[in-house]
């Protein structure tokens, strides 16, 4: 006799979550960034504009790689990001939602007082009924559009930094956070 459809779906989902959790390294086991990885990000940041200071680009790159590894330990990350989100929302983990990663990374980078770099925020999937909304930090040259910048996203790999040009990030359709917030306010006002 076949299992009911709901039970089959539940068992499949439980097995998938179990296997995903088994494949997730503990925060202290996350691979450390190599000097070449940090240098590649520093070069990408430095290339954002002719007035970007190479020392600031190097500091920003090192912090963007190293600080999320510390946050992964503080957030007690032991699962893939979506599972960790569920645990945070259930009160089982202290922090680790994407906006918290972005808030904390932005605050740490801001402590440097960069003069030739600007930190902006972006949100993806704000208009999707299927995908969850996702927040990140974007680093740009001062006065440049967010779309000219580099995404610094520690959430999607549970503390291991993803970075790339905003316009080349195929995983997320980024929008400036201010535009997303304005759109949400307009929708609420129209109700």
* Predicted confidence pLDDT, tens digits, the chain (191 residues): 555 666 555 544 554 455 444 445 566 677 889 999 999 999 999 999 999 999 999 999 999 999 999 999 999 999 999 999 999 999 999 999 999 999 999 999 999 999 999 999 999 998 877 888 999 999 999 999 999 999 999 999 999 999 999 999 999 999 999 998 888 888 888 88
Q: Pull the structure tokens for residue 115.
A: 């003069």
- Say if CB 115 and CB 53 are below 8 A apart: yes
* The predicted structure's pLDDT at residue 12: 47
Nearest to 46 by CA among 114, 110, 117: 117
Residue 58: phi and psi, rounded to 5, are -65, -45
Mode of pairing for the β-strands spanning 150-153 and 174-176: unpaired
Instruction: Return the number of other C-beta atoms located less than 10 Å from residue 43's C-beta.
Output: 13
- Please indicate, yes or no, whether the overall pTM of this predicted structure exceeds 0.95: no
Collapsed DSSP state (helix, strand, coil) of residue 33:
coil
């Amino acid at each position: 006799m076949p299992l009911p459809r709901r039970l089959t779906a539940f068992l499949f989902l439980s097995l998938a979550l179990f296997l995903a959790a088994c494949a997730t390294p503990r925060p202290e086991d996350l691979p450390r960034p190599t000097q070449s990885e940090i240098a590649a990000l520093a070069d990408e940041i430095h290339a954002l504009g002719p007035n970007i200071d190479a020392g600031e680009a190097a500091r920003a790159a090192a912090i963007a790689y190293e600080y999320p590894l510390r946050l992964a330990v503080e957030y007690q990350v032991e699962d893939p990001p979506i599972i960790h989100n569920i645990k945070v929302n259930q009160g089982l983990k202290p922090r680790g939602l994407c906006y918290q990663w972005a808030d904390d990374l932005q605050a740490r980078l801001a402590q440097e007082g960069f003069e030739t770099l600007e930190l902006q925020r972006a949100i993806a999937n704000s208009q999707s009924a299927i995908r969850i909304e996702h927040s990140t930090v974007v680093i740009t040259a001062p006065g440049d559009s967010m779309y000219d910048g580099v995404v610094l996203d520690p959430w999607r790999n549970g503390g291991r930094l993803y970075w790339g040009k905003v316009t080349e990030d195929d995983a997320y359709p980024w929008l400036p956070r201010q535009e997303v917030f304005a759109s949400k306010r307009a929708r609420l006002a129209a109700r």
